[in-house]
């Protein structure tokens, strides 16, 4: 996907060391890929955390990552109806 003329790949990965799931953003340019940001969901704390590995990331990328992480990384809670 492109933001501000820059090309990024987004991938979801399992992180067994930190006990959670991660949404990673990699910038691709001239045949290289460099990780520039991540959103991590911790199964222990049940919280999301955003980390940027580079300054001045496009706001559209950050917004897209946060929205996607909330939709794809956070488990849905099952309603039992009180039974």
Q: Is residue 17 part of a domain?
A: yes
Res. 76 pLDDT band, cuts 50 70 90: confident
Rounded Cα gap, residues 75 and 60, in angstroms: 24
Domain count along the chain: 1
Q: Is residue 81 part of a domain?
A: no
DSSP-assigned letters across all residues of the chain: -EETTEEEEEEEEEETTTTEEEEEEEEEETTEEEEEEEEEEETTT--EEEEESSSS--HHHHHHHHHHHHHHTSPPPPP-TT-
The answer, yes or no, to whether residue 80 has pLDDT greater than 80, is: no
Q: What is the pTM of this model?
A: 0.85
Range of the domain at 30: 2-72
Q: Is residue 79 part of a domain?
A: no
Q: Is residue 80 part of a domain?
A: no
Q: Is residue 63 part of a domain?
A: yes
Rounded Cα gap, residues 3 and 10, in angstroms: 12
């Amino acid at each position: 996907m492109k933001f501000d003329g820059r090309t990024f790949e987004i991938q979801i990965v399992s992180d067994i060391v930190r006990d959670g799931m991660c949404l990673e953003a990699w910038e691709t340019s001239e045949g290289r890929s460099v990780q520039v940001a991540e959103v991590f969901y911790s199964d222990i704390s049940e919280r999301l955390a955003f980390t940027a590995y580079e300054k001045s990331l496009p706001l559209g990328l950050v917004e897209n990552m946060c929205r996607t992480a909330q939709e794809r990384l956070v488990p849905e809670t099952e309603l039992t109806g009180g039974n």
